Structure 1
Amino acid sequence: MLPLESVREFVLDRCPARAPQSVPVADALGLVTASEIISSEAIPQFANTAMDGFAVRSADVADAPCELRVVETIAAGHAPQVTVGPGEASRIMTGAIIPPGADAVVMVERTSLVTPSSTANPNSTAADGSASGNGAAETVRVEVSVPPGNHVRPVGDDLHAGTHVFAAGTELTAGHLGVLCSLGMTEVEVFPRLRVGVLSTGDELVDDGSPLRPGQIRDSNRRTLLALAQRVDVVPVDLGLAPDDPDEIETAITTGVQTCDVIVTSGGVSMGDFDYVKAVLDRVGDMRWMQVAIKPAKPLAFGTVGDVPVFGLPGNPVSSMVSFELFARPGLRSMMGHPDPVRPTVEATAAEALPRRADGKTHFMRVLATPADGGVEVRSAGGQGSHMLWAMAKANALAVVPDGDGVRAGGSVEVLLLD
């Protein structure tokens, strides 16, 4: 049997990052930047208010309460038309430009309007930026004094022009995309999203919902693997279900290679399996058939057809999922430019014993992880058989239990947090 780390290194060496591409920002969620992002402009580009209120000269309100003449109303998206002079103020809405002459904002809750005066400022504007034309200028009573800069967001408060915003190798989240849009970027250079084809094989498999005949089982692996692939932010491609027929298997694989960046199959890689998948992949590709020192998911096939990586995962449902986590997921992430494609482990405490027998393999036990005393504790999710998909579905972590007798209750264990 081969050590897990050497097999994973073999896989990652053959899954290099794809050539970068420029894609629309709208399509970049979950992708990884291929180059550094540098701000081309300041954010915000103009000083603006963080509050609804009145833009004032702080010196005018030093002896508040006081009354100021309102010279205009400034809505967000409209430029000020009037300079705030001594004894004056401008009504201002959140996000609007601070007018010339003003150096602070008093929030509206600390003000009150006084009966309008009999004269109007000819430059007074309404909230939509148009002249008010009401024949009366308002006066506002300011209840508190404020320092210069009060509730004012200065130019470059978030980013200055030339700021190194995101490093190459950054996975783009919703917040990252928002920053790119605020910088006026419509495209970003990233490692492209992969198309990953998933194929199930076997005469015993059915997926049409019909009653099972003797010896048949329903195909759960394909849907599971398509969903796991989708969680890696690739485009999953359903290559269907192929019977144990070399011609049909070869047609499915060669069709997938023409349209996908990676192929994932399940079944036909264990010792003693019918060799249809092996025969086809050996004929059309450069494959390596391995026995890894882990449980579940000991058998693994990996290689290439042309330049398309092919993962041959075991057919048992839990083995298929664990094999995807340990080998296919890191390979896909590597191809999409993730600098750390392998999921890290965290230290946890076993809330109950996690027993096993010594067999020369590392066991990946399905567990439930929960927060506890500032850390993480785990307990078994149920049956640990490689066919027990229900327990795997309930698990949110894999406990990495080294060869030996297992982990005692209260003992420390490394875990892979899946959720």
Structure 2
Amino acid sequence: MSEKHAQDLHQCCGGPGEALLPFNVGREQILAAITPLEQNQVTDVRAALGRVLAADVLSPINVPAYSNSAMDGYAVRYADLPRDGEARLPIAGSVLAGHPLKQPCPAGACVEIMTGAQVPAELDTVIIKEVCQRQGDYVSFPAQGIKAGQNRRHAGEDIAQGAVAVPAGTRLGAAELGLIASLGQAEVSVVRRPRVAYFSTGDEIRSLGQPLAEGQIYDSNRYTVTALLARLGIDVVDLGVIPDRPDAIENAFRQAQQQADVILSSGGVSLGEADFVTETLERLGEVAFWRLAIKPGRPLAFGKVGDAWFFGLPGNPVAVMITFLQFVRPALTKLAGETLKPEVMVTLPSAEAIRKKPGRTEFLRARIEVDAQGRAQVRSTGHQGSGILTSMSQADCLLVLEAEQGDVAAGDPVRVQPFEGLL
């Protein structure tokens, strides 16, 4: 990292010795530091699901390409209909989808038309079949209730030729891919997938398949984090479990910075004697801040090693998931070139009383439920310890208590962040 960049990062985000940063300030400063990747790739539309669009998709055609009928019925000139009394017009032909009328419709006549079929240029109104009465080659229309231009979709009504069909920064889903395909485009330009290197730290951590000795635990953080990364379409470099030795952690940093855009670790960022991650980061790069006024997840390192951004997550599994969702996920979203959208938050009454001291933003694991009167409310999943992973698996949302908020009484409105689309 250049000296100037280190100074800018420190000025932007503060240093490790400063007071606890408020939640919103920490996240805003992380997002201010992150810039989107500039490398783009061209890919087949069929392989673009979940990718982020690098350039606007402009429509080469009008959508729909021609005026067409929204209903099965009869296409007429509105001017041919009398203002009073029932109309009776001869049927000059039938128009099916994909089979335009070959000859113009004579004045004073109409055509039978099917949904999606091209409306002849000389006709301007479609009357649905259900209100019409056909007698041989003639059809009668009701005297009232017909409006000029009804049931007719105009050319370019959905997308005009040359207009932006899908803007850059869109994460492509099924609807976007179908829309792009409807324009006749077989390829799209997408942002390169970010690469994230991840490692867990701790002498007590063991990978799956290894036997546990006394005082050891299996590594759950690698699996929650890599799953969260997979939901974002991230290319993951799994560096495994790194023991609590400065040389091993330094080697992990050096290996990660050569392979990834972002380095993630869990554990080793608190004040313990064997917590070497922040110490190593300060030696190899720049640590911007590492203490936040949130619960769970106060120890959070953010900085840069070489050209790779670094997030040092706490070691407790719930704190790992909370800090990932609130800080790492939006940062990776921006890095991937996706347009950041406001978070989905709803306000619901709390089903229970909650004790809280002002000063920290708290994220309680909770579930949305329906009371006896059919009204939605939110209730915590019980014990909220940062090591209780079941509190996350049983939850479908986070109950967010703002820093300045105190105790909550049953029935008080609280902010809720649903997990839908996040986990």
TM-score, with structure 1 as normaliser: 0.77
With over 3 angstroms needed to count, the CA separation of the structure-2 counterparts of 1:243 and 1:166, relative to structure 1, is closer
What does residue 9 of structure 2 align with?
A: none
What does residue 417 of structure 2 align with?
A: 416
Q: Distance in 2 between matches of 1:82 and 1:249?
A: 79
* 1:144 partner amino acid: F
Q: Distance in 1 between matches of 2:309 and 2:289?
A: 14
- Cα distance, 1:250 vs structure 2: 5.0
SS of the residue corresponding to residue 199 of structure 2 reads strand
1:50 counterpart (56, 60, 70): 70
What does residue 100 of structure 2 align with?
A: 79
Q: Distance in 2 between matches of 1:2 and 1:28?
A: 41
* 2:71 partner amino acid: M
- Cα distance, 1:108 vs structure 2: 4.1
CA contact (8 A) 2:370 2:376 kept: yes
CA contact (8 A) 1:398 1:418 kept: no
What does residue 403 of structure 2 align with?
A: 402
CA contact (8 A) 2:363 2:398 kept: no
SS of the residue corresponding to residue 214 of structure 1 reads coil
Q: Any residues of structure 2 matched to 1:18-417 within 5 Å, and which?
A: 18-19=37-38, 21=40, 23-24=42-43, 26=46, 39-58=59-78, 66=88, 68-69=90-91, 71=93, 73-86=94-107, 89-110=110-131, 139-145=136-142, 148-161=148-161, 163=163, 172-186=172-186, 191-209=191-209, 212-231=212-231, 233-244=232-243, 249=249, 252-272=252-272, 274-275=274-275, 277-278=277-278, 281-282=281-282, 284-288=284-288, 290-338=290-338, 340=340, 343=343, 346-356=346-356, 360-370=359-369, 377-395=377-395, 396-402=397-403, 406-417=407-418
- Cα distance, 1:283 vs structure 2: 5.0
With over 3 angstroms needed to count, the CA separation of the structure-2 counterparts of 1:55 and 1:343, relative to structure 1, is closer
With over 3 angstroms needed to count, the CA separation of the structure-2 counterparts of 1:322 and 1:109, relative to structure 1, is same
* 2:384 partner amino acid: Q
With over 3 angstroms needed to count, the CA separation of the structure-2 counterparts of 1:104 and 1:341, relative to structure 1, is closer
* 2:70 partner amino acid: A
What does residue 7 of structure 2 align with?
A: none
CA contact (8 A) 2:132 2:139 kept: yes
With over 3 angstroms needed to count, the CA separation of the structure-2 counterparts of 1:105 and 1:377, relative to structure 1, is same
> What do residues 48-84 of structure 1 show as CA deviations (whole Å, max 9, x unaligned)?
111234444556675657473453x433233331222
- Cα distance, 1:386 vs structure 2: 0.7
Q: Distance in 1 between matches of 2:173 and 2:119?
A: 32
Q: State which drifts further: 167-176 or 96-105.
A: 167-176
Q: Distance in 2 between matches of 1:68 and 1:341?
A: 55
SS of the residue corresponding to residue 271 of structure 1 reads coil
Q: State which drifts further: 407-416 or 391-400.
A: 407-416
With over 3 angstroms needed to count, the CA separation of the structure-2 counterparts of 1:98 and 1:383, relative to structure 1, is same
Instruction: Calculate percent identity across the aligned residue pairs.
Output: 38
Q: Distance in 1 between matches of 2:276 and 2:217?
A: 19
What does residue 126 of structure 1 align with?
A: none
User: How big is the alpha-carbon RMSD for the aligned residues of Structure 1 and Structure 2?
Assistant: 3.8
What does residue 134 of structure 1 align with?
A: none
- Cα distance, 1:385 vs structure 2: 0.5
CA contact (8 A) 1:191 1:336 kept: yes
Q: Distance in 2 between matches of 1:200 and 1:346?
A: 34
* 2:293 partner amino acid: A
With over 3 angstroms needed to count, the CA separation of the structure-2 counterparts of 1:401 and 1:9, relative to structure 1, is closer
TM-score, with structure 2 as normaliser: 0.76
CA contact (8 A) 1:382 1:391 kept: yes
> What do residues 303-357 of structure 1 show as CA deviations (whole Å, max 9, x unaligned)?
2222111111111111111111222122112323455467465544322111145
* 2:204 partner amino acid: E
CA contact (8 A) 2:269 2:276 kept: no
* 1:98 partner amino acid: V
With over 3 angstroms needed to count, the CA separation of the structure-2 counterparts of 1:376 and 1:284, relative to structure 1, is farther
With over 3 angstroms needed to count, the CA separation of the structure-2 counterparts of 1:345 and 1:150, relative to structure 1, is closer
Structure 1 residue runs without a partner (length 5+): 115-138
CA contact (8 A) 2:197 2:239 kept: no
Q: State which drifts further: 30-39 or 201-210.
A: 30-39
> What do residues 160-179 of structure 1 show as CA deviations (whole Å, max 9, x unaligned)?
34556666655555444444
With over 3 angstroms needed to count, the CA separation of the structure-2 counterparts of 1:268 and 1:56, relative to structure 1, is same
Structure 2 residue runs without a partner (length 5+): 1-18
CA contact (8 A) 2:69 2:126 kept: yes
Q: Distance in 2 between matches of 1:148 and 1:292?
A: 63
With over 3 angstroms needed to count, the CA separation of the structure-2 counterparts of 1:89 and 1:302, relative to structure 1, is same
SS of the residue corresponding to residue 227 of structure 1 reads helix
CA contact (8 A) 1:354 1:380 kept: no
With over 3 angstroms needed to count, the CA separation of the structure-2 counterparts of 1:344 and 1:20, relative to structure 1, is farther
Q: State which drifts further: 150-159 or 182-191.
A: 182-191
- Cα distance, 1:388 vs structure 2: 0.7
> What do residues 140-188 of structure 1 show as CA deviations (whole Å, max 9, x unaligned)?
4424245543422122222334556666655555444444444445555
SS of the residue corresponding to residue 141 of structure 2 reads coil
CA contact (8 A) 1:14 1:309 kept: no
Q: Distance in 1 between matches of 2:62 and 2:54?
A: 23
CA contact (8 A) 2:199 2:242 kept: no
What does residue 127 of structure 1 align with?
A: none
| Number of matched pairs | 392
Q: Distance in 1 between matches of 2:252 and 2:100?
A: 62
Q: Distance in 2 between matches of 1:43 and 1:213?
A: 65
Q: Distance in 1 between matches of 2:184 and 2:211?
A: 56
What does residue 128 of structure 1 align with?
A: none
